Amino acid sequence: MAAAVSDGAVTRGWIPAWVPTTATNLHEVHDLDSNESALSFDIPAETQLALPSNCQPVQYGDTLPVRLNRNWWPKAADLEQYYKFYSCPAEFVGLHKSGHSILRWRTLAR
């Protein structure tokens, strides 16, 4: 996360400010034309993730799919089975049931 901050990825909006400073293994992709993005990261067991207060739990079927395909992004079956989801203004967040792997994405309605 320190590298992402120093690179300006947070100030440019590709990585949200709510990502803990202890986050590791960050993978991020974005599309400047559509403003869509996808991010995955891990947090240590002792780190509590604090999502924005306006995020609401949703079912996987209520999310929009990520259109920026990358090999580090989980397959749909794994998402549905191993993650719980939140809808936040202009983004979705997926938390692995282990509590240590987090996904965040912005996508436009089709």
Collapsing DSSP states into helix, strand and coil, what is residue 99?
Answer: coil
Angular region, 61: left φ>0, alpha ψ -120 to 50, beta rest: alpha
* pTM of the shown model: 0.88
What is the pLDDT averaged over residues 22-35?
A: 89
- At residue 95, the 3 state secondary structure works out as strand
The domain limits of the chain are 2-106
Between residues 59 and 89, which one has the greater pLDDT? 59
Of residues 30 and 80, the one with the higher pLDDT is 80
